Amino acid sequence: MIHHAKRSRDVLTQLQQQPQLTAAGYQVAVIDYGDIDTLRFSLRGVVYPIISMISGPNQIELIKAAVQARVRRFAPAEFGSLPQLRTANDPLDRSRTAARHLLAHHSQYSQLTAFVCGVLHEKFQPGGLAQPRIGANTGLSTEGGYILNLRSVFTYDHLPQYGPSAGLL
């Protein structure tokens, strides 16, 4: 038996209507992250994961509204390094630690996952990180230059500084 599910593509934006997204079939809602009631209303009925592209106080408000609206899955903005490798009192944290703690506190209502910069671009985007011009000066921006090259099925896990023994995974 084949099960079909309705696919929803929603975008919340603080800036303005995005006609190009609407034309592509997305539902766009202009919201105010400071108005928790309107934000919660905008999230009602969302059953697909929320992937946050914002950080700081706005993301905290988005998480609170998502929990109140019973959104089941949330991926906070985690661009940078792996969360477990960050130091305490990181000046570049931008409330990411608070966001993870808040999601962990509400884990009985919502599942948490985190994507860190590079992995998705490298795995799913032809050209790797170089395609969107990310990390050009690092030497790791080519396809497969960071962790995995799917085309040649080559990984860096055999190298001690990158593999499981390095404690990076």
Q: What is the DSSP string of 87-139?
A: PTT-TT-TTHHHHHHHHHHTTTT-EE----TTHHHHHHSTTGGGTTT-STTTT
Contacts of 29 (CB under 8 A, 6+ apart): 10, 11, 12, 13, 42
pLDDT at 7: 44
Compute φ and ψ for 119, nearest 5 degrees.
-65, -50
pLDDT at 51: 72
- Considering the domain architecture, whether residues 32 and 105 belong to the same structural domain is answered as yes
- Considering the domain architecture, whether residues 131 and 62 belong to the same structural domain is answered as no
Q: Does residue 15 form part of some domain? A: yes
- Considering the domain architecture, whether residues 72 and 113 belong to the same structural domain is answered as yes
pLDDT at 150: 60
The C-alpha angle 117, 119, 122, rounded to 5 degrees, equals 110
* Structural domains in the chain (count): 2
Q: pLDDT below 70 — which residues of the chain?
A: 1-15, 47-49, 78-83, 85, 114-126, 128-129, 132-136, 138-141, 144-169
pLDDT at 4: 31
- Considering the domain architecture, whether residues 52 and 125 belong to the same structural domain is answered as no
pLDDT at 23: 84
- Considering the domain architecture, whether residues 39 and 55 belong to the same structural domain is answered as yes
- Considering the domain architecture, whether residues 71 and 136 belong to the same structural domain is answered as no
Amino acid at 68: Q
pLDDT at 5: 34
- Considering the domain architecture, whether residues 102 and 38 belong to the same structural domain is answered as yes
pLDDT at 120: 54
Q: Does residue 79 form part of some domain? A: yes
> Nearest Cα to 117, choosing from 55, 43, 50?
55
- Considering the domain architecture, whether residues 47 and 69 belong to the same structural domain is answered as yes
Q: How far apart are CA 150 and CA 22, in angstroms?
A: 33
Q: Which domain holds residue 49?
A: 10-83+91-118
Q: How far apart are CA 56 and CA 43, in angstroms?
A: 19
Per-residue model confidence as pLDDT tens digits over 85-126? 677 787 777 788 888 888 889 888 778 776 665 455 555 566
Q: Does residue 50 form part of some domain? A: yes
Q: β-pairing, 73-75 with 111-112?
A: parallel
- Considering the domain architecture, whether residues 45 and 97 belong to the same structural domain is answered as yes
pLDDT at 125: 62
Q: Does residue 163 form part of some domain? A: no
Q: Does residue 52 form part of some domain? A: yes
Q: How far apart are CA 142 and CA 147, in angstroms?
A: 11
